[in-house]
């Protein structure tokens, strides 16, 4: 413990020593006890179910204690990792299939420590806030049980040192998100949103399973360590993996597309707004949607090492670019404030995916890291507004600036961070992604997600920055400026709700400074501290051109937003009707993707199946019935003929035979257990005897 404190004290010093090769330690007690991180919330979730109602705060107290533990443990690991990098896997064999052991374990390295910290800290603040938000809910205790399970599932996922455990965590997150999105299940819409999220994720999970099987089988181990070692040893050393790497990598990425809601599997995320706002907040920030990016980050060497799945990168970057641009446009036309934020999450996830596709591991994860803070902040702020005006629609808001000062100022900080304005966190991470795209365009070929493809994506990403700033400006002006358009009197939320807002606003503003290119490299070292050396491009200094372009795009978006919605308060809402013929209906209907899934996938399958059943019913069954009828008629004639001939006895005899048969069978049906047992034993003897004689 004293050693740890000493480490923690000197981390700033250690962090400033750049350039020397990081030596990895096994992390000592702190790492070997890290199994508590996933286990504690899982146990607590059940504890809340059973004993939550008897606690003074109806289970919230257990949940918040768990999250406080997670936040502290995550912070302790983070500090310790920064002072001396930890990278260690702990595995316990629990079963064996052939010669592939199934293991449960916990991985303590840069990537997972970053996620422990993120889930712990953001989760803690969201749980704090949720007490205020969920006050008076009829399923308060149940909500916190499933919410704790949700955080715990995510921690199982990120602590996974092997494929099997990753899948377990992945599904835990899926099932608990289903519980949470459908929290208000009384309304049909909400429960179908939950089912939609679950099923969309299931479609993608097929990809994850296939990918996990391909990759694990071709290496002969489920462990990430073994898989990545095989990748590191090169294509010549691992020919089996190299041969299947493209398909394995692609399938894993399809799995990631589901959880991280990439186009065209993004449809579940906006609907997931049906859940309570704290759920949206945690789901969109630190957990669930980050799982896909995390998976790609975990398997990153597979995508980057020559001879393996490098071609998948071009697919990743295209998917990411489509997501970031198309969903950003949809965010412009939404009236529901949570939907705006949901689409902006999609767009930001697109940025992360693009960064991964461009081979920029650090940039992608850095954006994930900063985004978690400001997106949690924005959602909680939106929740605070919704709590106050009892409506999700921005057309019922406006002018809330003076009534809700804390919410307003923290929301502005979050918006500026999301828009990527200079000192705020989003600026640094977004700039790093743009810079890495420029780097990729010069370094890789088109097939590897570079070249002209990266240049086009760079242009899209800059346009995306403009759109992001524009819709956030719209949201801020329509919600907090202008005239109040709703009913009742808006009021500031209770303290337990705005304290987390302030606490999240601070990192949203300043956390970007931990990774200024060429100045500080804390984050780069953090996520780079893994047993596998992750070869990625990390900008040594700012890329002047993209920095200026990105900043201009963001400022232009804010300026345009201010010009449209800023002045003239009374008519603000009327000007929210800018519509481009042809484009607006497309955005309003979300590119008709939902309709396509319904009309193009579900109905075409359902229709033919129904028609096939109808045809079967109409033709085959009817034919059989009619045929049987005809046969019976013919038989009737024959019988009639017999009867006429005076062979009544045959009929009587058949009746008697049936009766006698029934009588014999009735003897078996005695209701006496022991006679049944005689039959069972006799049958067993005959069957097994047959087997013995046969062999």
Partner 1 sequence: MSDWISHPENIVFVILAVVMVGAGFRSVTSRNVVHAVLFLVVALAGSAALFLLLGAEFVAWTVVLVYIGAVIVLFLFGIMITRAPLGMETQLSHSNQTKIGAAIVAGALFALISVAALQGFGDTEFVASPTRTDDLGLSIFQRFVIPFEVVSVVLLAALIGGIVLARRDPESTEELPAPQPTGVATTPSTNIAATAGRSAEGGDT
Partner 2 sequence: MILSQFVILGAALFSIGVYGVLTRRNAVLVLLSVELMLAAVNINFVAFDVYFQDAIAGGQIFSLFIIAVAAAEVGIGLAIVLLIFRNRQSANVDELDLMKL
If one asks whether residue 669 binds partner 2 (CB under 8 A), the answer comes out as yes
- Tell the smallest beta-carbon distance from residue 678 to partner 1 (Å): 6
CA pseudo-torsion sign 414, 418, 422, 428:
positive
- Tell the smallest beta-carbon distance from residue 92 to partner 1 (Å): 13
Stretch that binds partner 1, among 58-66, 357-365, 587-595, 685-693 (CB under 8 A): 685-693
If one asks whether residue 688 binds partner 1 (CB under 8 A), the answer comes out as yes
If one asks whether residue 674 binds partner 2 (CB under 8 A), the answer comes out as yes
CB atoms within 10 A of CB 342: 27
If one asks whether residue 674 binds partner 1 (CB under 8 A), the answer comes out as yes
If one asks whether residue 677 binds partner 2 (CB under 8 A), the answer comes out as yes
If one asks whether residue 651 binds partner 2 (CB under 8 A), the answer comes out as no
Query: Which tokens in the block code for residue 522?
Result: 């804390």
Return the closest-CA partner of residue 569 out of 400, 399, 385, 407.
Answer: 399
If one asks whether residue 519 binds partner 1 (CB under 8 A), the answer comes out as no
For Cα atoms 249, 251, 253, give the angle at the middle one, nearest 5 degrees. Answer: 70
- Tell the smallest beta-carbon distance from residue 693 to partner 2 (Å): 17
Among 671, 693, 694, 695, binds partner 2 (CB under 8 A): 671
If one asks whether residue 668 binds partner 1 (CB under 8 A), the answer comes out as no
User: Could you tell me if 343 and 336 are in contact, meaning their C-beta atoms sit under 8 angstroms apart?
Assistant: no
If one asks whether residue 678 binds partner 1 (CB under 8 A), the answer comes out as yes
Q: Which does 689 bind (CB under 5 to 8 A by kind): partner 1, partner 2, none?
A: partner 1
Stretch that binds partner 1, among 474-482, 520-528, 610-618, 678-686 (CB under 8 A): 678-686
For partner 1, the closer of residues 544 and 695 by Cβ is 695
User: Could you tell me if 426 and 418 are in contact, meaning their C-beta atoms sit under 8 angstroms apart?
Assistant: yes
If one asks whether residue 658 binds partner 1 (CB under 8 A), the answer comes out as no
CA distance 418 to 371: 7
Distances, alpha carbon 677 to alpha carbons 664, 665, 672, 692, in Å: 18, 16, 9, 22
- Tell the smallest beta-carbon distance from residue 692 to partner 1 (Å): 5
Among 135, 506, 670, 686, binds partner 2 (CB under 8 A): 670
CB atoms within 10 A of CB 215: 28
If one asks whether residue 681 binds partner 1 (CB under 8 A), the answer comes out as yes
Q: Which does 673 bind (CB under 5 to 8 A by kind): partner 1, partner 2, none?
A: partner 2
Q: Which does 692 bind (CB under 5 to 8 A by kind): partner 1, partner 2, none?
A: partner 1
Helix (H, G, I), strand (E, B) or coil at 489: coil
If one asks whether residue 667 binds partner 2 (CB under 8 A), the answer comes out as no
User: Could you tell me if 284 and 346 are in contact, meaning their C-beta atoms sit under 8 angstroms apart?
Assistant: no
Stretch that binds partner 2, among 188-196, 304-312, 404-412, 673-681 (CB under 8 A): 673-681
State the virtual CA torsion across 369, 375, 380, 382 in degrees, nearest 10: 180
Cα-trace Rg, the chain: 31
Q: Percent helix, strand and coil across the chain, each rounded to 5?
A: 75, 5, 20
For partner 1, the closer of residues 188 and 672 by Cβ is 672
According to DSSP, the residues that pair with 107 across neighbouring strands are 89
Question: Concatenated DSSP letters for 436-486?
Answer: HHHHHHHHS-GGGT-HHHHHHHHHHHHHHHHHHHHHHHHHHHHHHSS---S
User: Could you tell me if 497 and 384 are in contact, meaning their C-beta atoms sit under 8 angstroms apart?
Assistant: yes
If one asks whether residue 672 binds partner 2 (CB under 8 A), the answer comes out as yes
- Tell the smallest beta-carbon distance from residue 686 to partner 2 (Å): 15
Stretch that binds partner 2, among 63-71, 131-139, 357-365, 666-674 (CB under 8 A): 666-674
Stretch that binds partner 2, among 120-128, 203-211, 566-574, 665-673 (CB under 8 A): 665-673
CA pseudo-torsion sign 142, 148, 151, 155:
negative
- Tell the smallest beta-carbon distance from residue 138 to partner 1 (Å): 22
By rule CB under 8 A, what count of residues binds partner 2?
10
If one asks whether residue 673 binds partner 2 (CB under 8 A), the answer comes out as yes
For partner 1, the closer of residues 635 and 678 by Cβ is 678
For partner 1, the closer of residues 2 and 674 by Cβ is 674
Distances, alpha carbon 501 to alpha carbons 18, 64, 492, 505, in Å: 34, 16, 12, 6
For partner 2, the closer of residues 395 and 669 by Cβ is 669
* DSSP category for residue 21: P
Q: Which residues here bind partner 2, judged by CB under 8 A?
A: 669-674, 676-678, 681
Q: Which residues here bind partner 1, judged by CB under 8 A?
A: 674-675, 678, 681-682, 684-685, 688-689, 692
């Amino acid at each position: 413990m004293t050693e740890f404190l000493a480490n923690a004290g000197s981390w700033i010093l250690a962090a400033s020593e750049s350039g020397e090769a990081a030596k990895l330690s096994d992390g000592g007690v702190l790492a070997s006890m890290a199994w508590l991180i996933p286990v504690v919330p899982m146990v607590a979730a059940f504890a809340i179910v059973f004993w939550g109602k008897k606690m003074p705060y109806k289970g919230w107290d257990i949940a918040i204690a768990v999250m406080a533990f997670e936040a502290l443990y995550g912070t302790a690991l983070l500090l310790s990792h920064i002072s001396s990098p930890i990278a260690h896997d702990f595995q316990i064999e629990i079963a064996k299939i052939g010669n592939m052991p199934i293991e449960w374990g916990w991985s303590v390295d840069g990537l997972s420590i970053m996620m422990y910290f993120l889930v712990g800290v953001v989760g803690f603040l969201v749980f704090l806030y949720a007490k205020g938000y969920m006050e008076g809910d009829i399923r308060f205790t149940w909500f916190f049980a499933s919410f704790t399970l949700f955080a715990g599932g995510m921690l199982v996922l990120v602590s996974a040192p092997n494929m099997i455990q990753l899948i377990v965590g992945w599904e835990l997150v899926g099932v608990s998100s289903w519980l949470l999105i459908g929290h208000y299940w009384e309304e049909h819409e909400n429960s179908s949103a939950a089912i939609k999220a679950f099923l969309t994720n299931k479609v993608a999970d097929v990809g994850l399973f296939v990918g996990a099987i391909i990759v694990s089988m071709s290496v002969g181990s489920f462990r990430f360590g073994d898989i990545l070692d095989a990748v590191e040893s090169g294509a010549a050393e691992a020919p089996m993996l190299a041969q299947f790497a493209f398909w394995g990598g692609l399938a894993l990425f399809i799995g990631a597309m589901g959880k991280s809601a990439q186009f065209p599997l993004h449809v579940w995320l906006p609907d997931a707004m049906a859940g309570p706002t704290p759920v949206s907040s945690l789901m969109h920030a630190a957990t669930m949607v980050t799982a896909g990016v995390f998976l790609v980050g975990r398997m990153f060497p597979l995508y980057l090492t020559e001879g393996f799945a490098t071609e998948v990168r071009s697919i990743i970057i295209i998917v990411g670019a489509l997501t970031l641009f198309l969903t950003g446009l949809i965010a412009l036309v939404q009236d529901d404030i949570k939907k705006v934020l949901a689409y902006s999450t999609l767009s930001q996830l697109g940025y992360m995916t693009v960064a991964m596709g461009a081979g920029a591991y650090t940039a992608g994860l850095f954006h994930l890291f900063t985004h978690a803070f400001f997106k949690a902040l924005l959602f909680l702020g939106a929740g605070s507004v919704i709590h106050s005006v009892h409506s999700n629609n921005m057309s019922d808001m406006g002018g809330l600036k003076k009534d809700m000062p804390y919410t307003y100022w923290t929301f502005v900080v979050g918006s500026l961070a999301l828009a990527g304005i200079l000192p705020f966190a989003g600026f640094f991470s977004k700039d790093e992604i743009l810079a890495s795209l420029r780097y990729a365009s010069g370094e890789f070929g088109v097939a590897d997600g570079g070249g002209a493809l990266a240049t086009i994506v760079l242009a899209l990403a800059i346009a995306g920055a403009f759109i992001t700033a524009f819709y956030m400006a719209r949201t801020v002006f329509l919600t907090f400026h202008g005239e109040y358009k709703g009913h009742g009197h808006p009021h500031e939320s209770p303290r337990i709700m705005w304290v987390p807002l302030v606490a999240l606003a601070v990192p949203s503003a300043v956390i970007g400074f931990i990774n200024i290119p060429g100045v500080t490299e804390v984050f780069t070292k953090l996520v780079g501290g893994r047993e596998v050396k992750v070869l990625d491009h990390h900008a040594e200094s700012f890329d002047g051109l993209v920095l200026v372009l990105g900043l201009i795009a963001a400022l232009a978006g804010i300026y345009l937003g201010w010009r449209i919605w800023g002045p003239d308060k009374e008519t603000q809402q009327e000007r929210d009707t800018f519509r481009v013929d042809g484009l607006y209906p497309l955005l309003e209907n979300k590119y008709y993707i939902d309709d396509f899934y319904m009309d193009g996938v579900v109905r075409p399958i359902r229709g033919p199946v129904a028609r096939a059943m109808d045809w079967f019913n109409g033709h085959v069954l009817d034919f059989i019935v009619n045929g049987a009828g005809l046969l019976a008629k013919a038989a009737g004639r024959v019988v009639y003929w017999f009867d006429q001939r005076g062979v009544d006895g045959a009929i009587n005899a058949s009746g008697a035979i049936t009766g006698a048969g029934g009588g014999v069978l009735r003897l078996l049906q005695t209701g006496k257990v022991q006679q049944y047992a005689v039959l069972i034993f006799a049958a067993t003897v005959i069957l097994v005897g047959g087997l013995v004689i046969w062999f």
